[in-house]
Structure 1
Amino acid sequence: MNELKEICKSLRLAHTADIYKDIPFENPEQYLKSLLTKELELRESAKIERLIKKAQFLQKKSLSTFQWHDKIHLPSQIDVKELEKLNFIQAKENLILTGSPGTGKTHLATAVGYKACEMGKEVRFYRVSDLVANLEKAWKEDKLTLFKGKFRNADLIVLDEMGYVPFNTEGAELFFQLISDWYEQKSLIITSNLEFSQWNRIFGDSRLTAALVDRVIHHAHILNFTGDSFRITHALSRNN
């Protein structure tokens, strides 16, 4: 058995030594095909798990459980079916989800991120305030290049809760540099409770804000979430 495991290891067959006894045998060709097919399935499943872990989502969400409703206003150039194909990632386009808190923006952003991982895409998930704090820390410790390297292979970057915490000048400039690095190189999903005209509250510099918004929306699909907070509505319904 140890010899078999070593052979499989040399051939980079991570699962074959553990599953070969469980594959039904009809004839040699069928058995080999079934064994290698199962190896590929398990390999793909393990890859997806690695991608999800690397993305560091804060919670698990799925597009299958997301409730599309008439309070979500999509732009004319994309519909739900097209969005769920995630072709915007291949095109290096962005999704901007704006609207009041509790209307489903983070759920959708996370679910799209999960779907991207399932499709073999590299994803990174950050609350914007955490990302800026990490940028400032990396800059102070002279590790900014090393930190930026974490995004080198990312296909999609999810930036959640833009606008909840304002930045200082240093944080705003570092964030702008990062967005500039990603411009037309990565796809972004940004969730925000603020309209673009209000982003100056976060950055405190009108010219920097204008330049950042210009990069973010240049290749973007903007979805506007309206209506009442799901969390408040759910809480009120339980108390009635």
Structure 2
Amino acid sequence: MNNYIKLQNNLDELNLLNIKNNIDKYLDLINMGEKSVIDALYELSELEVKAKEKRAMNACVKVANFPFLKGIEDFDFEFQPGINKQEILDLKSLRFVENNENILFVGTPGVGKTHLAVSLGIECAKHRYSTYFIHFQDLMSQLKKAHKENRLETRLKHFAKYKVLIIDEIGYLPIDTDASNIFFQLISKRYEKHSTIITTNMPFSEWGEIFGTPMLAQAILDRLLHHSHIISIKGESYRLKEKMEFFANSSSNFVRP
């Protein structure tokens, strides 16, 4: 067995498949004098480094529990002209994470709040920030269950540890006083330590209806709104738009017998 075959086998054994798949090309470039051995080895090693980074990035995205994978580039800013696109692109720089700032997306259902929250979350995960997405009602169910089982503090620490926690759909259903107090504890643990991204369909003036008392709602809002970016979205529903387009297309394709 010659050394070329042994090299191929070693690359397989070490799982350096990017080098294996490109080595013939680089050997040809070396033989033609178009690449030095050092340059070839460096570029081959770079392929493996980038592949490793991509695997790590994909792993971060996978464990973040996103309901879908859509980037900011997939968002239709023309349909929602009230949104400051430059502000969203600035948030994409992730300065808010380094500054432990919160983001609150406020608007009626279907206007793209969750899309933007997920898009920013994906960006965070890609840059190896620990990120997690959860619906508000699911979060509260987990925390209330932990409270009943005398392990609330452990569960609070779990959700408090994430560099970026995305809590979706605050306001669709109210919660009881015990749950409100538990949520306040979580927000307090994250306050000025990590970034929290919130989506809500309720204006802040009505959060007392969600959390039972205006005083508790105010205490939660004080911690969320301090060092925060508030994105208010006033526009039409994407879901309604898609349905209207579907029916319009269906009607145009209908042929009478």
Q: Classify the TM-score, shorter chain.
A: 0.7 to 0.9
Equivalences for 1:221-240 in 2 at 5 Å? Answer: 221-240=229-248
Choose between structure 1 and 2 for higher RCO, CA contacts under 8 A separated by at least 6 residues.
1
1:127 Cα deviation after fit: 0.5
**How far apart in 2 are the matches of 1:48 and 1:185?**
23
Task: Say whether the 8 Å CA contact 1:125–1:158 is kept in structure 2.
Answer: yes
Tell me what 2:21 maps to: 22
Do the aligned partners of residues 152 and 178 (structure 1) sit closer, same or farther apart at CA in structure 2, a change above 3 Å counting? closer
1:20 Cα deviation after fit: 2.9
Structure 1 gap segments, 5+ residues each: 9-14
Identity score, percent: 31
Say whether residues 1:55 and 2:96 are aligned partners: no
Deviations 1:9-30 (A, max 9, x none): xxxxxx42x3332232324312
Task: Say whether the 8 Å CA contact 1:71–1:226 is kept in structure 2.
Answer: no
1:163 Cα deviation after fit: 0.3
Do the aligned partners of residues 179 and 153 (structure 1) sit closer, same or farther apart at CA in structure 2, a change above 3 Å counting? closer
**How far apart in 1 are the matches of 2:51 and 2:202?**
43
Q: Provide the secondary structure at the position in 1 that maps to 2:89.
A: helix
Tell me what 1:12 maps to: none
1:152 Cα deviation after fit: 5.3
Q: Provide the secondary structure at the position in 2 that maps to 1:199.
A: helix
TM-score (normalised: structure 2):
0.82
**How far apart in 1 are the matches of 2:11 and 2:19?**
11
Match of 2:75 among 57, 61, 66: 66
**How far apart in 2 are the matches of 1:6 and 1:217?**
53
Q: Provide the secondary structure at the position in 2 that maps to 1:160.
A: strand
Deviations 1:64-83 (A, max 9, x none): 111224543459xx723312
Q: Provide the secondary structure at the position in 1 that maps to 2:245.
A: helix
Deviations 1:189-218 (A, max 9, x none): 100000001111111022111100010001
1:106 Cα deviation after fit: 0.5
Tell me what 2:45 maps to: 36
For residue 206 of structure 2, what is the amino acid of its counterpart? Answer: Q
Detail structure 1 runs of 4+ shifted over 3 Å in the superposition.
1-8, 69-75
* Superposition RMSD in Å: 2.3
TM-score (normalised: structure 1):
0.88
Do the aligned partners of residues 52 and 74 (structure 1) sit closer, same or farther apart at CA in structure 2, a change above 3 Å counting? same
1:238 Cα deviation after fit: 2.7
Tell me what 1:141 maps to: 149
**How far apart in 2 are the matches of 1:81 and 1:73?**
11
Tell me what 2:3 maps to: none
1:168 Cα deviation after fit: 1.3
Deviations 1:139-169 (A, max 9, x none): 1122223323433542211110000111112
For residue 62 of structure 1, what is the amino acid of its counterpart? Answer: G
Deviations 1:81-115 (A, max 9, x none): 31221211111111111011010100100111111
Tell me what 2:179 maps to: 171
For residue 55 of structure 1, what is the amino acid of its counterpart? Answer: A
Asked which structure has the greater CA Rg, the reply is 2
Task: Say whether the 8 Å CA contact 1:72–1:223 is kept in structure 2.
Answer: no
Q: Provide the secondary structure at the position in 2 that maps to 1:212.
A: helix
Equivalences for 1:82-93 in 2 at 5 Å? Answer: 82-93=90-101
Equivalences for 1:165-204 in 2 at 5 Å? Answer: 165-204=173-212
1:54 Cα deviation after fit: 1.3
